[in-house]
Structure 1
Amino acid sequence: MQILNIDHEILDFLRGRKNLLAFSHGSDSTALFYTLLNLGVKFDCAFVNYKTRENSDLEEISAKELCDKFGVNLFVKTAPLNLENSGDFENTARKIRYDFFDEICAKFGYDTLITAHQLNDKFEWFLMQLGRGAGLANLLGFEKIENRTNYAIVRPFYNVGKTQILDFLSENKIKFFNDISNENTKFARNAVRAEFSDKFVEKYALNLAKSFEFLSIDKANLMGEFIYQKDKFFVLENSQKSLNLIDKACKILGVVLSQNQRKEIQKTDCVLSGKICVCKNEKFYFVAPFEKTKMDKKFKEKCRILKIPPLIRPYIFARSEILAECEGLISGLDHSDFVDKIGEI
């Protein structure tokens, strides 16, 4: 069987890990299923049935048959949605999907979530963000390997065009299902795909993939790095680069920022989506999951001296090692000088 190319960095990353494939039985995830099999990458599958199409149940049955045939475990979630009455269908479906993936990865210890995002998807995102007036940090969308809090998202087809995928399926006579909702141009992504992106990628796929590689390097240089990071806690410099790194930290914690949330961050300390707190002082931004807990007076006074914002304190209070590791950094003093300064508390 002819296989599609996956770069060696991704293959090395996947081998020896416990992998979960987000599987819809559409063209992209089906091609990825067979490609991973033929490259010797072990994985299980997760399938969400939204009941939005006549073929939804047939797709689920076929997915089960395919996984049984090759000895692959399959996790299924049924989550009926109405295309017309579900509000923002794409975001609702995405939340259901990723909540399901999070649950499986946590319960069964998967190290990676493999998705079938490909070059056309990346270019669609680029054009949509360009049309919204986004900067470089938000134009590029997904990376080939993206570390989250509890697992990494890996996208082996990040530089593979849709035409290559369809050719692979056709030449190998592999069964897959078309999602007719992808033809509904009331969804912005579908409209961009139909009017602009697919024809462009088909003609310029190779050079487009190279351009995205170069732009990713530029993006990394532009964004800078976290001053301190431990598990779900991030400290970064309060500077012109802050918003880009805050965006990255929030993605790692499972929240994709909206334009309104970006504006809110710049105005005040806040809790985003009820999950993540973003706070700042004159020198630093702090990002961590939002928690509530009672704190003793000694700890509060130490935070006051360090100018650690109140919203972020409960997360640190429950994890004393964080404060011990970064107190000198935050205070701008050597550890011994800092201890002398707060010794009487």
Structure 2
Amino acid sequence: MNLVERVLKTIRNYEMLKPNDTVLIAVSGGQDSMFLLQAMNYLKTKLKLKKLVVCNLDHGIRGKESAEDSLFVKTRAEDLNLGFIHKKIDLSKKRSKGSSMEEAARKERYEFFNEAALSAGANVAATGHTLDDQAETILMRIIKGASLKGIVGISPVREERGIRIIRPLFELEKGEIEKYLDERGLEYRIDSTNKEPLYFRNVVRKEILPFLEKYNPRLKRVLCSLAEHLREDFEFIRESKEALRHKPREADGVLEIKLKDLITQPKALQKEVLRDALDKIGGEVKRLNFRHWKEAEQLIARKRKGSSLDLPGDIRITRTAASILFQKRLCP
């Protein structure tokens, strides 16, 4: 089975696409996205897709090099008679306080995908995430500390603002893709920042993973299998949370969860309810650590009414006699 056939198998196994879908393909010009573009164009008829549109975002951090990448992608899209949507930003001005450059880039990419999908009339956006990207993401989150939701890593299919985000290369390794392109003389661009040790992902990719692979050459696949098993557990928790009859209520900037509705639930489910509440009220969920969760558990289970806990994002949660209240803390 060649690589394109394996992409088709992944698409079908995860039910990524349906007949008459209009698909936005995110293409940077690198190996993975150029292979994704070729594979999707080849499979368009077999999958009975309505239309393919290429989108490209220039983050504005590599100057002339990134501009040349965008021109390369535009030319390739034109060669294939596909629509092309492009945007250039200055990522350094978009980065918020406390966020990494990678987090800022990811946020801007998905904002752009939504804009481009709306412009193209697309209901699906395909990205070039590979098995390597998944393994790196999982390892990074384990090193930095993550909950179950974090360790499941990149989802092969998810919904965001009405757009289905799919990862058709999810089960392929970068080395396989590089070999496929090189053997066929297919061009791609190389991002010089991928070699810089300034970014944590590059350190994981170039140093940490290769070191660990000395002890298990199949480590990347092992990490991805772990995430797949954990995703099944997480989906069970998520579906159980959605099935809860009593939802948090919000009024005048205060979100309320009744203690009787929360305290009877398993801790894993309590945590997801709390996470959603914090996210809804404007908390910085990604900054929550193990200590925060334990303190929140104690507040729910044992603290007296009037007790409170401050969490990242200037959120204060307060225990009353019958409820847990979430609200933005007034800073002096």
Q: TM-score, normalised by structure 1?
A: 0.67
- Measure how far apart 1:137 and its partner are: 2.5
- Contact 1:146-1:153 at 8 Å conserved across structures: yes
- Measure how far apart 1:171 and its partner are: 2.0
1:3 matched residue in structure 2: 4
Q: Which of 18, 30, 35 is 2:34 aligned to?
A: 30
Q: Which of 171, 181, 196 is 1:159 aligned to?
A: 171
Q: Distance in 2 between matches of 1:73 and 1:21?
A: 10
Q: Distance in 2 between matches of 1:310 and 1:108?
A: 39
Q: Distance in 2 between matches of 1:257 and 1:212?
A: 20
Equivalent positions of 1:144-223 (< 5 A) are 144-197=156-209, 200=213, 203-204=217-218, 205-223=220-238
Deviations 1:116-171 (A, max 9, x none): 11111111111111112323331121111112232121111222111111122112
- Contact 2:316-2:326 at 8 Å conserved across structures: no
Q: Distance in 2 between matches of 1:256 and 1:39?
A: 40
- Contact 1:2-1:172 at 8 Å conserved across structures: no
Q: Secondary structure at the match of 2:198?
A: coil
- Measure how far apart 1:31 and its partner are: 1.0
1:71 matched residue in structure 2: 81
By relative contact order (CA 8 Å, sep 6+), the higher-ranking structure is: 2
Percent of matched pairs sharing the same residue: 20
2:243 matched residue in structure 1: 227
- Contact 1:128-1:192 at 8 Å conserved across structures: yes
Q: Distance in 2 between matches of 1:116 and 1:39?
A: 15
- Contact 2:74-2:84 at 8 Å conserved across structures: yes
Q: Distance in 2 between matches of 1:152 and 1:190?
A: 28
Alignment pair present for 1:242 and 2:254: no
Equivalent positions of 1:282-293 (< 5 A) are none
Alignment pair present for 1:19 and 2:23: yes
- Return the letter of the residue paired with 1:129: R
When residues 228 and 148 of structure 1 are mapped into structure 2, their CA distance, relative to the original with a 3 A threshold, is farther
- Return the letter of the residue paired with 1:196: I
2:126 matched residue in structure 1: 114
Q: Secondary structure at the match of 1:113?
A: strand
Deviations 1:208-255 (A, max 9, x none): 5444332322333355431369xxx99996342233366579999x99
- How many residue pairs end up in the alignment? 284
1:90 matched residue in structure 2: 102
- Contact 1:120-1:197 at 8 Å conserved across structures: no
When residues 198 and 165 of structure 1 are mapped into structure 2, their CA distance, relative to the original with a 3 A threshold, is farther
When residues 163 and 44 of structure 1 are mapped into structure 2, their CA distance, relative to the original with a 3 A threshold, is same
- Measure how far apart 1:32 and its partner are: 0.7
- Measure how far apart 1:65 and its partner are: 0.8
Alignment pair present for 1:134 and 2:146: yes
Q: Distance in 1 between matches of 2:52 and 2:177?
A: 20
Q: Distance in 2 between matches of 1:28 and 1:249?
A: 37
- Measure how far apart 1:93 and its partner are: 2.0
Deviations 1:153-212 (A, max 9, x none): 111122211111112211222111111111111211111111123573993155554443
- Measure how far apart 1:30 and its partner are: 0.9
- Return the letter of the residue paired with 1:105: A
When residues 113 and 130 of structure 1 are mapped into structure 2, their CA distance, relative to the original with a 3 A threshold, is same
Q: Distance in 2 between matches of 1:121 and 1:47?
A: 19
When residues 4 and 74 of structure 1 are mapped into structure 2, their CA distance, relative to the original with a 3 A threshold, is same
2:304 matched residue in structure 1: none
- Contact 1:4-1:168 at 8 Å conserved across structures: no
Deviations 1:282-320 (A, max 9, x none): 9x9xxxxxxxxxxxxxxxxxxxxxx89797xxxxxxxxx
- Measure how far apart 1:48 and its partner are: 0.9
Which deviates the most, 254-263 or 185-194? 254-263
- Contact 2:24-2:55 at 8 Å conserved across structures: yes
Q: TM-score, normalised by structure 2?
A: 0.69
2:253 matched residue in structure 1: none
- Return the letter of the residue paired with 2:227: F
- Contact 2:277-2:326 at 8 Å conserved across structures: no
Unaligned runs of 5+ in 1: 285-306, 312-345
When residues 206 and 126 of structure 1 are mapped into structure 2, their CA distance, relative to the original with a 3 A threshold, is closer
- Contact 1:114-1:153 at 8 Å conserved across structures: yes
- Return the letter of the residue paired with 1:151: I
Q: Secondary structure at the match of 1:44?
A: strand
Q: Distance in 2 between matches of 1:141 and 1:79?
A: 27
Q: Distance in 1 between matches of 2:278 and 2:180?
A: 36
- Contact 2:153-2:227 at 8 Å conserved across structures: no
- Measure how far apart 1:77 and its partner are: 0.6
- Contact 1:111-1:151 at 8 Å conserved across structures: yes
